[in-house]
Amino acid sequence: MEKLDQRIQLVASAEFNNVVDRWRRDQADLPSRSEAIRRLVLHGLEYEKSYPMRMITAIIRPHKYEELRDALVAIGIEGITVTQVQGFGRQRGHSEIYRGAEYQVMEVPKVRIDVAVSAELVEKAVREIEKAANTGKTGDGKIFVQPLEQVVRIRTGETNEMAIG
Ligand SMILES: Nc1ncnc2c1ncn2[C@@H]1O[C@H](COP(=O)(O)OP(=O)(O)OP(=O)(O)O)[C@@H](O)[C@H]1O
Ligand SMILES: [Mg+2]
C-alpha cells in the first residue's frame, strides 16, 4: 500500500466540493473526498500524457483572419491551415450581414482555421482566437478543441512534440 503521510491543505469552494462529491457517489466503492481528489488528479495527469496535443478548429468571420493569424503567431504557433468554408449557426444565416448585404441563403462564407498545438498552449490559443474573432454580433463563429493523437513532419520523419512547431 502506498503510504499516505503527506498532508496538504486544500482550500476549495462549496461548488467544487459538490462537483467532487457528485463524482465520488458514482464510484462503485464511494471513496473519501480526499481519495476522490487523488484519483481525479492522477486521471487528469494520465489524460495529459496520452493526449499531449490538441487540434483546434475555429470557424470565424473572413475579415478577422489576419488579426487572428498574427495573434497566434505572436504566442508561438508555427503553422496554420486556412480554408474558405460556408456554414450556418442558430440564425441559419438569415440575419447575417456579409460585405454590407444581408444574406438570404442559409450558408454564410466563413474561414476555417485548423491549428495543432501542444496541450500547454491550448488555453492561451483559444483565448487569443476568442479575442481576435469577437465582434459581439451573431455569426462570430465557434472554436472546437479535440485530442490529437499524432503529428508527423513528412520531410524529416519527426513526430509529435518535435513535429508540431
Ligand atoms: N454546431 C456546429 N457544428 C459545426 N459548425 C458549426 C456549428 N455551429 C456553428 N458552426 C459554424 O460556425 C459558423 C458560425 O456560427 P455562429 O457564430 O453563427 O454560431 P451560433 O451558434 O449561431 O452563434 P451566434 O448566436 O453567436 O451566431 C457557422 O457558419 C458554421 O460554419
Ligand atoms: Mg449564428
**pLDDT truncated to tens, each residue of the chain (165 aa)?**
789 999 999 999 999 999 999 999 999 999 999 999 999 999 988 887 777 899 999 999 999 999 999 999 999 999 999 999 999 999 887 666 677 766 567 899 999 999 999 998 999 999 999 999 999 999 999 999 999 999 999 999 999 888 988
In DSSP terms, 35 is beta-bridged to none
21 in a structural domain:
yes
Phi, psi of 127 (to 5 degrees): -60, -45
3 in a structural domain:
no
Site to substitute for ligand 1 among 59, 112, 145, most atoms within 8 A of C-beta: 59
> Domain holding 85: CATH number?
3.30.70.120
Residue 33's pLDDT is what? Answer: 96
Count of alpha carbons within 13 Å of 127, Cβ hemisphere only?
7
Domain range for 78: 53-164
Three cell numbers at 73?
Answer: 503567431
Do residues 41 and 58 share a domain? no
In DSSP terms, 147 is beta-bridged to 54
Three cell numbers at 147?
Answer: 485530442
Name the residue with the closest Cα to ligand 1, atom 3.
89
Number of folded domains in the chain? 2
4 in a structural domain:
no
Ligand 1 pocket, residue 109 CB under 6 Å: no
Task: Identify whether the C-beta of residue 95 lies closer than 8 Å to the C-beta of residue 140.
Answer: no
